[in-house]
Structure 1
Amino acid sequence: MARFFMELAYRGKNYHGWQIQPNAITVQEVLNTCVGKMLGQEINIVGCGRTDTGVHASYFVAHFESEKLPLGTEQFCYKLNRFLPRDIAVYSMTQVDEQTHSRFSAINRSYEYHLVTQKNPFLQESAYYLDKGIDFSKMNEAAQVLLDYTDFTSFSKLHTDVKTNNCKITKAIWEQKSDRWVFAISADRFLRNMVRAIVGTLLEVGQEKISLQRFCEIIEAKDRGLAGTSAPAHGLYLVGVDYPEALFIPKHQRVCCL
């Protein structure tokens, strides 16, 4: 059996996240169905991670196994995209070593959270609108503190099956881009709901509901109940997944989600 990596993107609005679940449509289910019909076999596509209901991915990597792609990788992608719904796009397929795994071989992941402070009817489903006064400089002070910690239990969804809540964050910054503010964060791994919980708590700093010292205390307490409410899903994008070059070199230039 050959293993193939797929580079893809999707809008999360119409899906209950990436991973298959009962009685709810997911991105993984749609891809399994479409790829399986094209290959004439049952397919289980494995993603580089999970995204929650409503979360988008402007860059996502997944893998599946098959004897071969009957049309070749480029033609297979072309045919598959005609078969897929408009809110899912596959950009490339690359055969990789059978030991290379889309999730476990990844060494870095990057997310962006998009926020607008002025009402825009064209961004209602792709950015979080918040018109209250926000101090982004204070939020950036708090964001830099994240790089000093490794245990992010306070920003993790409760009762998950992970063995550790430790992550190494290498980037966390708010930047103004065009008509919005974008929070960019990168780490070796992320916990369930982690980015949205961090954003929600940073917004409390920016609205002066909590101090920078309190923000640090929340992290150190390792208690999800002390952190802020998770920011809405529709503002969040997975934008990057990195692998050692010896295992996988991306073919596709990542989609801009601005």
Structure 2
Amino acid sequence: MKKDVKVEFLKEKKLDTCIELIKEKGKFNILSEYANFYDRRTYFKVNENGDIFQKTYNPITLLYLFCDDEKKLADYLFKYSYVEEKQNIKKIDRASNLDVETLKKNLMKTLTNSHLDFSKIFAKELFLRDKKAFFELMYNFSFMGNPKDLKVLFVYALEEIFNQINYDENIFYTIIAYFTKFRDDYSVYMNSTDDSIKFDIENYNEDKKIYLNIVEKIFTRYNLKNENKFKVSLCRYFENDFELNQDLKDILKGKDI
């Protein structure tokens, strides 16, 4: 059986070779080339005893956005590529027969119902047709869930990356796949009223401050209809512990995002 060159490369973990590849091709091209290895087949499992096992997000897309150190990027590629969970990323179809409003409705419905096969089609079509509408919807969807899953930051990362490069289907797919496979909890959002809120920033840990800094940029960039309700929900979540992935925190610490 023919060996998979990428699998062998990731298993060998030749740091110097990876650094040279990143320098030669650029970090986002490398991020795209190995996208098959970032996703999980599932993030949520329950056994017959009712024990729940949930895997966390893969921060590699965020790390590749915010970091330019080739050695660290090479380390991240080996650390956050899961050879045993390799996925096949097929070309995403178009839905050119649908208008933008229908695409928005269908995308929100399929995201909330965790339908990857349909979400990726509606997401791609909406992005190519109306980027502003696409990102507004993705932020609306992300703000409804628990901030611990960092979906808001992943939308931000996708927007920032695609401001630097052309549309890349592999990078795009990994974000949509994560959004549909990682289950959201809407209970806090559903019980949040559209009231004014004040964040207790002085008493927040560094992780919460980093997250809020990016959130404020998003609210400045987009006029989201339920912004106040999103803030109330976030404030309630922040009454509890909130920690970023350590590699991501190290990169973002003291950074003017």
TM range (shorter): under 0.3
Question: Relative contact order, CA 8 A, sep 6+: which one is greater?
Answer: 1
Query: What TM-score do you get using the length of structure 1 for normalisation?
Result: 0.25
Structure with bigger strand share is 1
Query: What TM-score do you get using the length of structure 2 for normalisation?
Result: 0.25
Structure with bigger helix share is 2
